[in-house]
Amino acid sequence: MIVAVLGTGQRGRDIAQRCVRVGHEVRLRGTDATAVMDRVDEVRRALNGDVSASIDGTTGLESAVSGSDIIIDATAGETDGHREVVAETETMVKGETLIAVSDTSLSVTAVATGLRSPDRAVGLNLVDPPNGAIVEVVIAEQTTAVTRDRVTDFVESLDASPVVVRDTPGFAALRLELATIAEAVRMVEDGVAGVRDIDRTFKRGASDRDGPLVRADRHGLKTVLTALEDLAERLDERFEPPALLRQKVADGQRGAVTGEGFYIWEDSEPTTGADPDPDVPTRDSDPDLR
């Protein structure tokens, strides 16, 4: 299968890597030639330096999308910009080519209005990229059952499980992730438990996934704050950011990128929990409990 990936940001790179790994022919398109080739090299290094890996880079839109089976728009920008990209792309491809949008901040339905054949539009969101086992298939108002089925088949070809979701703000994975992080932050804020204990509680059983506060630090607390503000505006107050999160961002404690967030970070790994890390009071340590 020929996959055209538009955009050389992190999402574009992750999608390209996932597709190349399973043997799809990938054409990665960006507007800056140096950035394109850097991303191609990164993908090949991630695949143990396999120079035969089927990925090529280009700055030409038509050379990227011509003859492709699916186009994945992973460019950055607002709805109008994505709408223009997919509209221009549609004039260069055959009628059965699928057009996917990969951006959790966008309405796929709104982007699809730029297409003459909006029934071919769908959203694709890699969960825990690039190696996560889940890919959200976002169904726009215009998406047909045929398109849905073809895209779920494509996702399965990536050795991933498709999760079909409606085109709503945050889709499914992001909403669950942000809700979990927000509640974990409120637990720290309310003195329910310490940072490390809250994350240990989340990691029950054999799960090797990081707890929500480690994940918040890895995402970047400013990124988490912005995403929560966006969902609070587009949905409701359930996603209103906790005051403690706002304070940490204001204080420059933005997670792994700054070396301190809910954890102190050393060599890209969390060490001790940062302040505040409350002590849960006992009867003899708290006069109010005596």
Q: Which long-range contacts (CB under 8 A, 24 or more apart) does 190-194 make?
A: 191/278, 191/280, 192/278, 192/280, 193/278, 193/280, 194/273, 194/277, 194/278, 194/279, 194/280
Question: What integer pLDDT is reported at residue 130 of this predicted model?
Answer: 75
Residue with tokens 């299968």: 1
Q: Which of 39-53, 169-183, 222-236 has the lowest mean pLDDT?
A: 39-53
**DSSP E strand stretches across the chain:** 2-6, 25-29, 55-58, 70-73, 98-101, 121-127, 134-139, 161-166, 263-266, 269-273
Percent of residues, the chain, with pLDDT higher than 70: 92
Q: Among 3.40.50.720, 3.40.50.12780, 3.40.50.2300, 3.40.190.10, what is the CATH number of 2-166? A: 3.40.50.720
pTM here?
Answer: 0.86
Provide Rg for the chain, Cα atoms: 21
What is the phi/psi pair of residue 176, to 5°? -65, -40
Q: Which two tokens stand for residue 22?
A: 């399973």
Please check the confidence at residue 45 and state whether its pLDDT lies above 60: yes
The tens digit of pLDDT for each residue in 137-162 reads 999 999 999 999 999 999 999 999 99
Residue 74 CA to residue 70 CA, distance in Å, equals 13
Residue 274 CA to residue 265 CA, distance in Å, equals 9
Same CATH fold, 174-273 and 2-166? no
Residue 249 CA to residue 232 CA, distance in Å, equals 18
Question: What integer pLDDT is reported at residue 203 of this predicted model?
Answer: 77
Question: What integer pLDDT is reported at residue 132 of this predicted model?
Answer: 78
Q: What integer is the mean pLDDT of 160-182?
A: 95
Please compute, for residue 204, the number of CA atoms within 13 A of its CA located in the half-sphere on the CB side: 2
The tens digit of pLDDT for each residue in 61-81 reads 999 999 999 999 999 999 999
Please check the confidence at residue 287 and state whether its pLDDT lies above 70: no
Q: Which two tokens stand for residue 70?
A: 């699916």
Choose among 48, 41, 158: nearest CA to 100.
158
CATH number of the 174-273 domain? 1.10.1040.10
Residue with tokens 């906790």: 242
User: Is the Cα torsion angle 203, 178, 223, 166 positive or negative in sign?
Assistant: positive
Q: What is the residue extent of each domain of the chain?
A: 2-166, 174-273
Residue 224 CA to residue 239 CA, distance in Å, equals 11
Contact (CB, 8 A) for 125 and 173? yes
List helix spans (H) across 91-135: 108-112
Using 50, 70 and 90 to split pLDDT, how confident is the model at 206? low
